[in-house]
């Protein structure tokens, strides 16, 4: 096949591209320039879109022996990922931008462009597997549980999965580094990227405060009584305990946690730990990674964080929303988080949590 | 078959230049040394200087060798600015970055004021604007820089007219693309300074020349051994100078033949992509450059597709990280950001053949169709 290798400049995508070449594909390396300001592009310190990263990607492509180009996806990234991230926080929800990037950029803008240009698909360094069986091509967890990225890929439709190649899902990260070393790739020991790539400082709250302002508002208990002040409601997350700066102790002396964020009134609601517990999750904007699910409950797992646990549940689709009924209550769920349903290690689909009870 | 149509970026070194360079590389002797070997190398350099002077219609003493065309532009813009003691720099709005960026640097660091001469939709400067500007503020102008021909479109500028209007104001012209490809006489143009480059004319990389009027001294960028009229210190790059001159002397660029191939290419373009249009089409242009806008496409997609069909061309401008940016040249000619980023430059060279042109034309329809499909997404 003729495929585009999305090369971030990291070790994973470099090895993925090399493996795709070895598998007999005709591969062209593409680095996505995602920062909208070229100055930032030059000076960014870490993440996936600095000039050093594009250089590393180029050198990896040279080593592998494939053509290399840079695609400017800054506008798409800004509109589809950064703006969405801000809007979600401003609305009191907790988004995952990596998921949005996969949904809007890597397997949408890039894959669509690649197909139009006569390519058959996109290869990335994500840790996930695909299998071909009675249900067609399906998405599965990677072998390495610590690196498994199927959660952030659970926004891919069957068509997108058909155009995606994930050569790393059957290997542990430690072995990818060894392989990169053996292949002579200079990025073999490059540290993993962490944090959010467009928040190079790693200071998520500060970044949000700079863009959304830091309007002081009340922190209230469940009765509505004001017990403190905050500096921007969206810099808090559901379940957060530290950094609330509350001087008034709870009547029973127990610690208090963020229960709710109300952006309209700029209010943060706190309460006892038990209040965080939920046993039902409701999600909107459902995406099926394979066959659609109906109203009859099925047994499986739900995961609500990128590296969270797989929780036993029953799940079904009520015609509008994806619903997961948890066997054990779960603490600290924020609207905006993605709920991803697994059948064993197969990704069934995902939805954006809009309610929990 | 693979076809190279990016000769404006760099063109293959001529065999005569390569041969001359190999011989020169084997010789020892710093041209500044006084002994036999030094004198021998010095003779090679001075012979080369005379060859270039003759080809250009200037005096040998007016040829100052530099490391590149960019260095020559920088030396001229900064040097003429510092020498004058005046604050206004006037350049065309379509200058190469080698002129534009030093001018902007002088604005940021030396308190200069930069005024750009607008161009019409064919990319030719507005002489009336310049005339009026000189009438109003002539006494404040340190230097006027107007390129001889544009590197992206090949459009030739009326530099002779600029010189007439300028009077006593120094005029610099970047003639990197024009040298050996169009009628170019330093003396007849009457400019103060001119920039040339070796690797654009069949010579090697890493050699350029600043042509500067005799006995007209400007502050240097590089200080040291006092070579090249103390304007450009540094051991003379004799092998590259010799090869540069050999390429010029060989006179291999056949402008009429290249122009015919370009016309063939343009006719083929018009037939296969009817809505494509050539930028600067109504202006006088260099024989070898065609800048085409393909509506409904993105040039970086087109470049990738042309490249995978083994045809090398150019998108024009890119930032240092390789991200394609809209060309300031096309924007100045009235393009918007979208159409400016839907354009490709094809540039033909001394060794371009009809088969090359025909091959490029044969892959165009598929490339444009795919490029358009990719742009719909």
Residue A143, chain B, CB below 8 Å: the answer is no
Above 50 in pLDDT, residue B12?
A: yes
Using one digit for the tens of pLDDT, what is the confidence trace for B156-171? 999 999 999 999 999 9
Q: Is the pLDDT of residue A24 over 90?
A: yes
Q: Is A170 left (phi over 0), alpha (psi -120 to 50) or beta?
A: alpha
Instruction: Specify the range with the lowest mean pLDDT, choosing from A29-43, A208-222, A240-254, B49-63.
Output: A29-43
Residue A40: its pLDDT value, please? 47
For A112, which residue in chain B has the nearest alpha carbon?
B377
* pLDDT exceeds 80 at position A39: no
Q: Decide: A317 and A287 in contact? Cβ < 8 Å.
A: no
User: From B318, which residue of chain A is nearest by alpha-carbon distance?
Assistant: A70
Q: Who's near A269: CB < 8 A, 6+ residues apart?
A: A219, A220, A221, A222, A258, A259, A260, A261, A262
Interface of chain B toward chain A, CB-CB under 8 angstroms: 300-301, 303-305, 307-308, 319-325, 370-371, 373-377
pLDDT-based confidence at residue A209 (cuts at 50, 70, 90): confident
Residue A48 pLDDT level (bands cut at 50, 70, 90):
very low
Residue B354: which pLDDT band, with cuts at 50, 70 and 90?
Answer: very high
Phi, psi of B149 (to 5 degrees): -145, 150
pLDDT of res. A214: 81
A54 near B CB under 8 A: yes
Q: What percent of chain A has pLDDT over 70?
A: 96
Residue from B1, B319, B321, B323 carrying the catalytic annotation: B319
Q: Tens of pLDDT along A96-148?
A: 999 999 999 999 999 999 999 999 999 999 999 999 999 999 999 999 999 99
pLDDT score for A47: 40
What pLDDT shows up at residue A37? 52
pLDDT computed for residue B250 by the predictor: 97
Instruction: List the single residue in B305, B320, B321 with the smallest CB-CB distance to A117.
Output: B305
Residue B367 has pLDDT above 60, yes or no: yes
Q: Whole-prediction pTM value?
A: 0.88
Which of A36-50, A117-131, A184-198, B24-38 bottoms out in mean pLDDT, i.e. has the lowest?
A: A36-50
The distance in angstroms from the start CA to the end CA of chain A is 47
Q: Which of B321, B374, B375 sits opposite A33 (nearest CB)?
A: B321
* Subunit contact B308:A28, Cβ cutoff 8 A: yes
Q: Is A335 helix (H, G, I), strand (E, B) or coil?
A: coil
Catalytic residue among A98, A101, A289, A313: A101
Distance from CA of A70 to the nearest CA of B (A): 6
Of the residues B307, B310, B322, the best mutation for testing chain A's interface (the one with the most A CB atoms within 10 Å of its CB) is: B322
Nearest CA distance, B282 vs chain A (angstrom): 32
- Inter-chain contact A70–B371, Cβ cutoff 8 Å? no
3-state per-residue secondary structure call for chain B:
CCEECECCCCCCCCHHHHHHHHHHHHCCCCCCCCCHHHHHHHHHHHHHHHHHHHHHCCCHHHEEEECCHHHHHHHHHHHHHHHHCCCEEEEECCCCHHHHHHHHHHHHHHCCEEEEECECCCCCECHHHHHHHHHHHHHHEEEEECCCECCCCCEECCHHHHHHHHCCCCEEEECCCCCCCCCCCHHHHCCCEEEEECCCCCCCCCCEEEEECCCCCCCCCECCCCCCCCCECCCCCHHHHHHHHHHHHHCCCCHHHHHHHHHHHHHHHHHHCCCCEECCCCCCECCCEEEEECCCCCHHHHHHHHHHCCEECECCCECCCCCECCCHHHHHCCCCHHHHCCEEEEECCCCCCHHHHHHHHHHHHHHHHHHHHHHHC
| Chain A nearest CA to B305, separation (Å) | 7
Q: Name the band, by pLDDT with cuts 50, 70 and 90, for residue A41.
A: very low
Yes or no, beta carbons of A71 and B300 under 8 Å apart: yes
- DSSP states along A217-273: EEEE-TT--EEEEEE-GGG--TT--TT----SPPTT----EEEEEETTTTEEEEE-G
- A87 within 8 A of A234, measured Cβ to Cβ: no
Residue B256, pLDDT > 90, answer: yes
Give the position of tokens 């260095």. Answer: B71
Residue A207: pLDDT band (50, 70, 90) is confident
Annotation marks residue B313 as catalytic: no
- End-to-end alpha carbon distance in chain B: 31
Q: Count residue pairs from A and B with Cβ separation < 8 A.
A: 60
Query: What's the rounded Cα separation, in Å, for the pair A32 and A351?
Result: 26
| Cα angle B28, B29, B32; round to 5 | 160
Any idea which of A78-82, A165-169, A260-264, B345-349 has the lowest mean pLDDT?
A260-264
Tokens for B137?
């503020």
In chain B, residues with a C-beta closer than 8 Å to the C-beta of A115 are 377
Question: Cβ B321–A116 below 8 Å, yes or no?
Answer: no
Comparison of pLDDT for A236 and A163, the residue scoring more: A163
CA pair distance A203, A133, nearest whole angstrom? 44
Q: Could you tell me which of A125, A142, A145, A98 has the C-alpha nearest to residue A190? A: A125
Residues of B in contact with A109 (CB under 8 A): 377
Indicate the helix (H) or strand (E) that contains A294: none
| 8 Å CB contact between A310 and A275 | no
Per-chain mean pLDDT for chain B = 96
Residue range B230-255: average pLDDT? 97
Least confident segment among A44-48, A209-213, B220-224? A44-48
Q: What pLDDT score was predicted for residue A264?
A: 82
Instruction: Decide if A70 and B300 are in contact by the 8 Å CB cutoff.
Output: yes
pLDDT at A198: 85
What are the E-state strand segments in A266-356?
A: 267-271, 278-288, 298-303, 311-317, 322-330, 338-343, 346-356
Residue A147 is predicted with a pLDDT of 94
Rounded to the nearest 5°, which phi and psi values hold at B113? -115, 130
Q: What integer pLDDT is reported at residue B320 of this predicted model?
A: 56
Q: Which of A42, A72, A117 sits opposite B320 (nearest CB)?
A: A42
Counting residues of chain B whose pLDDT is more than 70, the rounded percentage is 98
Residue B30 burial by CB count (10 A; 0-12/13-18/19+): exposed, middle or buried? Answer: middle
SS3 content of chain A, % helix, strand, coil (to 5): 30, 30, 40
Quote the pLDDT of residue A274: 87
A45 to chain B nearest CA, in Å?
A: 14
Residues A171-194, mean pLDDT to the nearest whole number: 91
Residue A284's DSSP bridge partners are A352
pLDDT band for position B150 (cuts 50, 70, 90): very high
Euclidean distance between CA atoms A205 and A235, whole angstroms: 5
CA dihedral A33, A36, A39, A45 (to 10 degrees): -60
Q: How far is A10 from chain B (nearest CA, A)?
A: 16
What ipTM was assigned to the predicted interfaces of this complex? 0.86
pLDDT reading at A298 higher than 50: yes
Residue B26 has a pLDDT of 97
Question: B273 pLDDT exceeds 50?
Answer: yes
Coil, strand or helix: which one is A130?
strand
């Amino acid at each position: 096949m003729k495929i585009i290798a999305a090369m971030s400049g990291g070790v994973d995508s470099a090895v993925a591209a090399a493996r795709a070449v070895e598998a007999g594909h005709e591969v062209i390396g593409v680095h996505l320039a995602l920062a909208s300001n070229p100055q930032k592009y030059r000076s960014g310190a870490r993440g996936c879109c600095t000039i050093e990263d594009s250089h590393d990607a180029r050198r990896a492509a040279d080593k592998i022996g494939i053509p290399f180009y840079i695609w400017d996806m800054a506008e798409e990234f800004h509109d589809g990922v950064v703006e969405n991230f801000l809007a979600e926080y401003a609305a009191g929800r907790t988004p995952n931008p990596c998921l949005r990037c996969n949904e809007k950029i890597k397997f949408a803008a890039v894959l669509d462009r690649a197909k139009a240009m006569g390519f058959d698909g996109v290869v990335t360094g994500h840790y996930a597997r695909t299998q071909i069986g009675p249900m067609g091509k399906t998405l599965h967890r990677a072998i390495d549980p610590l690196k498994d990225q199927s959660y952030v890929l659970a926004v891919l439709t069957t068509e997108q999965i058909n155009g995606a190649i994930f050569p790393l899902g059957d290997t542990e990260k430690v072995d990818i580094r060894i392989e990169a070393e053996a292949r002579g790739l200079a990025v073999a020991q490059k540290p993993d990227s962490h944090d959010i790539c467009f928040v190079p400082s790693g200071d998520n709250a500060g970044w949000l405060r700079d863009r959304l302002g830091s309007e002081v508002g009340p922190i209230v208990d469940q009765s509505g009584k004001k017990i403190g002040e905050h500096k921007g409601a969206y810099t808090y997350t559901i379940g957060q305990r530290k950094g609330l700066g509350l001087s008034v102790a709870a009547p029973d002396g127990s610690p208090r946690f963020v229960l709710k964020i109300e952006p309209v009134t700029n209010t943060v609601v706190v309460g006892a730990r038990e209040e965080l517990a939920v046993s039902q999750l409701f999600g909107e904007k459902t995406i099926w990674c394979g066959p659609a699910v109906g109203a009859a409950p099925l047994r499986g797992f739900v995961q609500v964080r990128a590296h969270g646990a797989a929780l036993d549940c029953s799940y079904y689709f009520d015609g509008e929303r994806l619903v997961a009924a948890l066997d054990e209550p779960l603490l600290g769920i924020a609207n905006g988080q993605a709920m991803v349903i697994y059948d064993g290690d197969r990704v069934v689909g995902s939805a954006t949590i809009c309610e929990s009870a | 078959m693979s076809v190279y149509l990016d000769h404006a970026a760099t063109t293959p070194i001529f065999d005569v230049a390569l041969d001359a360079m190999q011989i020169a590389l084997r010789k020892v002797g710093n041209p500044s040394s006084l002994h036999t070997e030094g004198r021998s190398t010095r003779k090679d350099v001075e012979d080369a200087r005379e060859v270039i002077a003759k080809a250009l219609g200037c005096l040998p003493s007016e040829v100052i060798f530099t490391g590149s065309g960019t260095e020559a532009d920088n030396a001229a813009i900064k040097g003429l600015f510092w020498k004058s003691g005046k604050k206004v720099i006037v350049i065309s709005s379509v200058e190469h970055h080698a002129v534009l960026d030093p001018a902007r640097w002088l604005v940021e660091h030396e308190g200069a004021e930069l005024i750009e001469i607008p161009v019409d939709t064919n990319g030719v400067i507005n002489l009336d604007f310049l005339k009026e500007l000189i009438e109003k503020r002539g006494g404040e102008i340190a230097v006027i820089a107007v390129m001889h021909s544009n590197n992206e479109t090949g459009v030739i500028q009326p530099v002779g007219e600029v010189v007439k209007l300028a009077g006593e104001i120094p005029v610099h012209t970047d003639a990197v693309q024009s040298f050996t490809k169009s009628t170019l006489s330093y003396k007849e143009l009457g400019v103060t300074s001119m920039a040339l480059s070796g690797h654009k004319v069949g010579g090697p990389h890493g050699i350029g020349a600043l042509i500067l009027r005799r006995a007209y001294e400007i502050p240097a960028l590089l200080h040291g051994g006092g070579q090249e009229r103390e304007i450009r210190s540094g051991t003379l790059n004799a092998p590259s100078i010799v090869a540069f001159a050999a390429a010029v002397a060989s006179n291999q660029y056949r402008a009429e033949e290249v122009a015919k191939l370009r016309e063939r290419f343009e006719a083929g373009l018009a037939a296969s992509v009817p809505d494509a249009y050539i930028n600067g089409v109504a202006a006088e242009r260099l024989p070898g450059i065609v800048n085409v806008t393909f509506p409904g496409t993105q040039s970086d997609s087109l470049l990738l597709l042309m490249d995978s069909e083994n045809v090398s061309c150019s998108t024009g401008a890119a930032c240092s990280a390789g991200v394609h940016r809209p060309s300031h040249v096309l924007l100045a000619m009235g393009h918007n950001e979208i159409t400016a980023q839907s354009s490709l430059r094809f540039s033909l060279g001394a060794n371009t053949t009809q088969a090359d042109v025909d091959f490029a034309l044969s892959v165009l329809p598929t490339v444009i169709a795919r490029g358009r499909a990719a742009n719909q997404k």
